[in-house]
Amino acid sequence: MEKAEAIRNSKGGTPLTMLTAYDYPTAKILDAAGVDMILVGDSVGMTLLGFPDTTHVTLAHMAHHVGAVARGTSRAFLICDLPINTYTTVEQALESARTLVKAGAEAVKLEGGVAIEAQIAAIVADGIPVVAHVGLLPQKVLEEGGYKIKGKTDDEITALMDDIDAVNRAGACCCVVEGTRPHAARMATERSVIPTIAIGSGEATCNGSVAVITDLIGGFPWFVPGFIKPKGNVAGIIEQCAREWMAEIRAWKLPQDSLPS
């Protein structure tokens, strides 16, 4: 709980940084780089596993990836997503959270506010820190017929404020605010005692920011969210390395006596 308390108490200080990682080398690099939090996001379903959205991700996928990331993380606060349909009831949420902690997570993240307040409170009471996630909830993509920006209407703003209140009450240590209009994210931040972490909710609207590592490094060029400015072109580097290596191999001149007679 120590790292969770440090995150919770950091509100108002230097903005928090959170990056996703799904494997050992990436975790080791991000940990050494000094990122505050590493998230094994269920975005792994899209960025690494080739699914169209996060609704295909299972607890077994998450346990597998958080184990690898835990082996590469010694300093950052390590959070793992509870995937869809693994926290429908309080009992199921507890069991799923314990499974991920056993696999290496220090905290779990769940999507929702009022609707899952009891689940968050129960996990926290069990001694497992929780990162909340409100606003646009990717696990609801099929239910809502797409990724819908939140905080556009008065009703949506009220719902967002209710959700941020709920996760504060339930004892979350910080809260991701995804895909909301900037003014709604700012309102949530002002209202929240715990730090808010923005993604796709405008710049400097929250107490920190989270990015999906493949978006940031240019590792998944087939879909780049409009709000991200990639800092590299890893996909291009992989292709270039592969092409250079193939050209070298294909230029081999095998000695004639190496061929079967």
Determine which residue in the list 210, 215, 217, 220 makes contact with ligand KIV, applying CB under 6 A.
Answer: 210
CA distance 42 to 84: 9
Query: Among 255, 212, 257, which Cα is nearest to 231's?
Result: 212
Nearer to ligand KIV, 45 or 72 (CB): 45
Determine which residue in the list 170, 187, 199, 217 makes contact with ligand KIV, applying CB under 6 A.
Answer: 199
- Of the candidate spans 38-46, 71-79, 96-104, 144-152, the one that interacts with ligand KIV by CB under 6 A turns out to be 38-46
CA distance 123 to 109: 10
Q: Please check whether residue 226 is in contact with residue 215, taking contact to mean a CB–CB distance below 8 angstroms.
A: no
CA distance 172 to 52: 29
Question: Per CB under 6 A, does 43 bind ligand KIV?
Answer: yes
Question: Per CB under 6 A, does 137 bind ligand KIV?
Answer: no
Least separation, in Å, of the C-beta of 210 and ligand KIV? 5
178 in catalytic set: yes
Least separation, in Å, of the C-beta of 209 and ligand KIV? 10
* H/E element, 17: strand 16-20
Question: Per CB under 6 A, does 42 bind ligand KIV?
Answer: yes
Question: Per CB under 6 A, does 215 bind ligand KIV?
Answer: no
Q: Please check whether residue 16 is in contact with residue 175, taking contact to mean a CB–CB distance below 8 angstroms.
A: no
What does residue 10 show for φ and ψ, rounded to 5 degrees? Answer: -85, -5
Nearer to ligand KIV, 101 or 212 (CB): 212
Determine which residue in the list 31, 81, 117, 163 makes contact with ligand KIV, applying CB under 6 A.
Answer: 81
Q: Please check whether residue 136 is in contact with residue 147, taking contact to mean a CB–CB distance below 8 angstroms.
A: yes
Nearer to ligand KIV, 124 or 210 (CB): 210
- DSSP one-letter code for 55: G
Catalytic annotation, residues:
178
